[in-house]
Amino acid sequence: MSRLVLVLGDQLSRDLSALKAADKGRDLVVMAEVTDEASYVRHHPKKIAFVFAAMRKFAALLEADGWRVAYARLDDGDNAQSITGELQRRAAAEGAREVIATEPGEWRLIAALEEMPLDVTLCPDTRFFCSRDRFDHWAEGRKSLRMEYFYREMRRETGLLMEGDKPAGGKWNYDHENRKPAADDLFRKGPPHFEPDETVAEVLDLVKDRFAEHFGALRPFWFATDAAQAEAAFAHFLKHGLPAFGDYQDAMLAGDRFLYHAVISPYLNVGLLDARDVCARAEAEYRAGRAPLNAVEGFIRQILGWREFVRGIYFREGPGYPRRNALNHQRGLPALYWGAETKMNCLSRVVAQTRDEAYAHHIQRLMVTGNFGLLAGVNPTALHEWYLAVYADAYEWVEAPNTVGMSQFADGGIVASKPYVSSGAYISRMSDYCRGCAYTVSRKTGPGACPFNLLYWSFLDRHRERFSGNPRMAQIYRTWDRMDAERRATVLREAEAVLDRLSAGKIV
């Protein structure tokens, strides 16, 4: 009797563990575009189109490789519109009782598969450097889980950027060299854009018809949608982006949405690129003298370190992790996150970029949209669902620890040792967003004062009991305490006025 082999939209890898466990001559691959997955949060139209188009091309690749594939398009009349519904429909038609699947990256889907009236075997997702068991072994018994120490262990295990038992260059981390602001450069090459082919064009029409009300611009659409295109995008980055990536990885420019960033996270996260190959080839650029160590180390750390670390945290902390709210923040998501008018140029720019590209780099997410949400006391679940919806690379295993943990400190410090908050000074230093803003970043109080300046101190004041004992924040509280009482009262009063305007739905 044949078995069903489930391949999800973020599992588009030929060496997927479920495919390796299957029998090409006997088993049936099941793939499905379903409403449930496209709308459990209101995903960006570009994200939906990217995944559906990549799925269609991958299904054709499997068929050409000799697999039997049962593929349901979203608009097929008999589509059950859920993953479990499609598996049960195909099982009935095939007379199958067993399902082989690679473990999904969301607890929601794992639970759904385990509750099906079919025999489901979940294979470990071997596309990562670190298995779930390996991460748990590393984490067991530690008082705190810090990515830096996990990353060093991964470097030792893989040998990446190592000279014997020492890190290349004598240091593990070159982050202090990677914080330079960028200037406009007409000759900077961003990521390559791929013209929609017939498959992509058909998907774009479908998404336009079905998901036009979702936040985000569907066109122009330029993402890679198959492994060959993703490979071309990565090769382009190695040549044109990686050499300067390190210096400017934290920079933000209103007129340049991509700078030297690779923009390969969507391709890594659906399986069009392989993390091991990507890291090895980046290291080869350093060994060949074509890219400096600070750039290559910073790039590899984002994948071997951070990407692997947050996956480990997500599965270790369990299904309830995305709903944590350690700071008890309850404010609803402000309308400006959905494109409503705001006088804050940094937020306006990043939200507009998110709307147009389904992409923003890590500092735009952490220190602009995330920083504002944390300072304003936005409910972290609401913000988590926003990030999950609007970015093409967002899947819960990677997005929830970044938002709930790193950005919002809603896990109480499991991921981050302190909250990532800043005044407007950081944004001014790392971007050109403050030029032409309605607010004046150097103004701390009074008319035209930057809301980040006001909300920064307000946040620290109301959470003093939790954070004043944090060694990394002691100096900040000493600075606050040295301010005269009248100035502190003015800051808190004006910050409350900003929050009142947000609550009333007024423009901030």
As a whole number of angstroms, the distance between CA 322 and CA 405 comes to 9
On whether both 98 and 143 belong to a single domain, the answer is no
Please answer whether residues 508 and 498 qualify as being in contact, where contact means their C-beta atoms are separated by less than 8 angstroms.
Answer: yes
Residue 56 included in any domain: yes
Number of domains in the chain: 3
Asked if residue 359 and residue 258 are part of one domain, the reply reads no
* Residue-averaged pLDDT of the chain: 97
* Nearest-angstrom CA–CA distance, 171 and 167: 6
Euclidean distance between CA atoms 264 and 268, whole angstroms: 6
216 within domain boundaries: no
Q: What's the CA gap between 128 and 410, in Å, rounded?
A: 26
45 domain residue, yes or no: yes
Nearest to 279 by CA among 327, 230, 218, 238: 238
Q: What is the DSSP letter of 441?
A: T
First-to-last alpha carbon distance for the chain, in angstroms, is 63
CATH of the domain at 363: 1.10.579.10
Q: Is the domain of 295 the same as that of 386?
A: no
| 44 located within any domain | yes
Relative to beta strand 98-102, strand 4-6 is parallel
- Residues 254, 172 share a domain: yes
Residue 157 backbone phi and psi in degrees, to 5: -65, -40
Q: Tell me how far CA of residue 142 lies from CA of 136, 145, 308, in angstroms.
A: 10, 7, 18
Instruction: Give me the pLDDT at residue 436, please.
Output: 85
Q: Is residue 431 a contact partner of residue 248, using CB atoms and an 8 Å limit?
A: no
Domain that holds residue 281: 132-194+226-317
Same structural domain for residues 95 and 145? no
- Is residue 408 located within the same domain as residue 261? no
The CATH number that applies at residue 98 is 3.40.50.620
Is the pLDDT higher at 98 or at 179? 98
Peptide bond into 220 cis (omega under 30): yes
Confidence bin at 414 (pLDDT 50/70/90):
very high
Residues 299 and 172 in one domain: yes
Q: Per-residue pLDDT for 374 more than 90?
A: yes
- 201 C-beta neighbours (distance < 10 Å), count: 13
Q: What's the token pair of residue 44?
A: 């960006």
pLDDT interval class at 476 (50, 70, 90): very high
- Same domain for 287 and 431: no
**What average pLDDT does range 35-50 have in this prediction?**
97
Does the pLDDT at position 442 exceed 90? yes
Q: What would the pLDDT profile of 70-89 be if each residue is shown by its tens digit?
A: 999 999 999 999 999 999 99
Position with higher pLDDT, 1 vs 23: 23
Residue 139's Cβ-count burial label (10 Å; 0-12, 13-18, 19+) is: middle
Residue 340: pLDDT band (50, 70, 90) is: very high
In a shared domain, residues 107 and 53: yes
pTM check: above 0.85: yes
Q: Own/partner pairs for 413-417, CB < 8 Å, 24+ apart? A: 413/144, 413/326, 414/145, 414/313, 414/317, 415/145, 415/147, 415/310, 415/313, 417/144, 417/146, 417/470, 417/472
DSSP annotation string for 112-146: HHHTSSSEEEEE--TTSSS-HHHHHHHHTT-SS--
Q: Are residues 79 and 184 in the same domain?
A: no
User: Looking at the domain assignment, is residue 221 inside a domain?
Assistant: no
Reported as a single tens digit per residue, the pLDDT across 129-185 is 999 999 999 999 998 899 999 999 999 999 999 999 999 999 999 988 888 999 888
Residues 311 and 448 in one domain: no
pLDDT of residue 99: 98
Q: What is the pLDDT of residues 191-249, one digit of tens each?
A: 999 999 999 999 999 999 999 999 999 999 999 999 999 999 999 999 999 999 999 99
Which CATH number fits the domain that encloses residue 300? 1.25.40.80
* pLDDT for res 75: 96
Helices 308-317, 147-158: axis angle to 10 degrees equals 120
User: Coil, strand or helix: which one is 71?
Assistant: strand
Report helix, strand and coil shares of the chain as percent, to nearest 5. Answer: 50, 5, 40
Is residue 212, in this structure, part of any structural domain at all?
no
Distance CA 39, CA 26 (A): 33
SS3 181: coil
- The rounded percent of the chain whose pLDDT value lies above 90 is 97
